[in-house]
Chains A and B, each alone.
Chain A
């Protein structure tokens, strides 16, 4: 069964705008990771946040984690056409088993 669930399922924004997507999960976790998937390609790791961290940045990405609410958010600032992709959160209780959500499909319009 899927541990993480992303919301919204789809998001369409104008280039330059920010995109925010959320991930909710059900059980305690060791860490939470975000991945990007371009159409027809493999997934690419974006960022990992540990359960004892609350916020993490990587370039134009900002991830927050609220373990009390069992939720995380991914913010992409100043979006570009190249950010068009599906974004997945993945949670790990036991480090060798990652459980993925169904993803948020982001479309950035030029």
Chain B
């Protein structure tokens, strides 16, 4: 089966601290990978997507960055967190044939 792992599941960080959220995918090669953010009670905002190692496209300019060091690893980072970075971060893999997204269980970030 194709599984998406995200960690940490929950994170509380002070303003100005760095961030690293990790997403790994099992069972598939060269997947399209996505990072979405969901604010409380809101829809999903596409942050980054990647079609291959080292290939990152940014959708929204902000103080977050993404990297894809390995085929099945997608990392979301920040050097200095802002209060507005709080939210639920979801990693997803895309099924190439249909375009369907398969999501991980998310990482909930609270910036204080």
Interface, chain A (partner B; CB < 8 A): 2, 30-31, 33, 35, 40-45, 48, 88, 90, 92, 95-103
Contacts and interface: CB of A to CB of B under 8 A. Distances in A.
Nearest to B94: A96
B43 A96 contact: no
A96 B100 contact: no
B1 to A, nearest CB: 14
A109 B102 CA distance: 29
A43 B90 contact: yes
A95 B46 contact: no
A77 to B, nearest CB: 23
B100 A48 contact: yes
Interface in B32-64: 32, 36, 42-44, 46, 49, 51
B104 A92 contact: no
The A interface is mostly helix, strand or loop, or mixed, namely: strand
Contacts of B101: 33, 35, 43, 45, 90, 98
Contacts of A95: 99
Contact of B46 (A30, A33, A40, A99): A99
The B interface is mostly helix, strand or loop, or mixed, namely: strand
B103 A42 contact: yes
Interface residues of B, number: 23
Contact of A100 (B43, B100, B102): B43
B99 A33 contact: yes
Which 9 A-B pairs rank lowest in CB-CB distance, beginning with the nearest? A42-B103, A102-B43, A100-B44, A95-B99, A100-B43, A43-B103, A45-B100, A42-B105, A42-B106
A16 B27 CA distance: 38
Which one of B44, B49, B94, B104 has the greatest number of beta carbons of chain A within 10 Å?
A: B44
Interface in B68-112: 88, 90, 92, 94, 98-106, 108
B104 A48 contact: no
Contacts of A96: 32, 49, 51, 94, 99
